[in-house]
Amino acid sequence: MTQTPITDIDLHAYVDGQVDATRRAEIEAYLAANQAAAATVREYRRLNRRLHEEFDDVLNEPVPHAMIRVSRRQPFDVIRRIAAVLVLVVVGGAGGWVLNDLSAAQGDPVGAAFPERAGIVHAIYSAERRHAVEVASDERPHLVAWLTNRLGTDVKLPDLTEAGFQLVGGRLLPGESKPAAHFLYEDVEGRRVTLYMRHGDTGGRDTRFSFADENGVGVYYWINGQTGYALAASLEREDLLKVAKIVYHQLGG
């Protein structure tokens, strides 16, 4: 039986999980008989671990508003802009000014509506499996005290056990004029829901329990005076509704 010799390239590919099962078995047999190669593999693995230790914290940092841009949604919006440009061009060649105006109109994330903002938060922070929260659930009292203090209102954490979701943790996020709170819950299948909460910069308009579809992320939300809550997830709408109702009843509408 012949076998391709094991090279340094194979050791790297083995460490990075880039070999098929047959080759993996061959490499493992080789490593069992070759201590120096086994030590090299351990060092390469350790190197990868150190890269994660050094840089994974970046995943936890709140994303600056300037990086988030959302497209305005309605075709109507585009038509209106084109009309505005035409008018200005006709009136008198103010091209540069028009361009400025357009780029500003394209994406002020701070102006994103409350449910849209919750959808964005879910999209950013629930994709990453490893580092999705700043403060983990085992520091629950600290998390609640810290966010209560920063938001300037009582922050309560809903218990979603009955829907099968457990708290993963939470973080403080920059809101519009005041910070916002973000909590992440997860069920045994790894499905995640985002609870987004704001106090004081909701515009003060009461909003009844409502639904918004943010393209793949569903959002139930309500605003009660100064405090707004939103529950966002990529779940079946009925499943999300079930969780949202629990939150609504526990936190008060």
Partner 1 sequence: MQEKDRLIIEQIPRLRRYARALTGNANAAEDLVQDCLERSWNKFHLWQRGSNMRAWMFTIMHNIHVNQVRKAISRPTVVSLAEWTDDRGVKPVQEKRVEVRNVGAALELLPEEQRAVVLLIGLEELSYLEVAKVLDIPIGTVMSRLSRGRERLRQMLSDVGVEPKETVTET
Residues at the contact surface with partner 1, assessed by CB under 8 A: 8-9, 12-13, 16, 18, 43-44, 46-48, 50-56, 58-59, 61, 63-64, 66-71, 73, 112, 116, 119-120, 123-125, 127-128, 131, 214-217
CB of residue 120 vs partner 1: minimum separation in angstroms?
A: 6
Specify burial of residue 201 (Cβ count, 10 A radius: 0-12, 13-18, 19+).
middle
Closest CB to partner 1 among 56 and 236? 56
Dihedral sign for Cα atoms in the order 90, 105, 226, 165: positive
CB of residue 141 vs partner 1: minimum separation in angstroms?
A: 27
**Unique residue bearing structure tokens 């009309």:** 83
Closest CB to partner 1 among 64 and 190? 64
CB of residue 162 vs partner 1: minimum separation in angstroms?
A: 29
Closest CB to partner 1 among 50 and 156? 50
Pairing of strands 192-199, 207-213: unpaired
Residues belonging to the chain: 253
Specify burial of residue 79 (Cβ count, 10 A radius: 0-12, 13-18, 19+).
exposed
CB of residue 176 vs partner 1: minimum separation in angstroms?
A: 16
Question: Is residue 76 within 8 Å of 84, Cβ to Cβ?
Answer: no
Closest CB to partner 1 among 37 and 246? 37
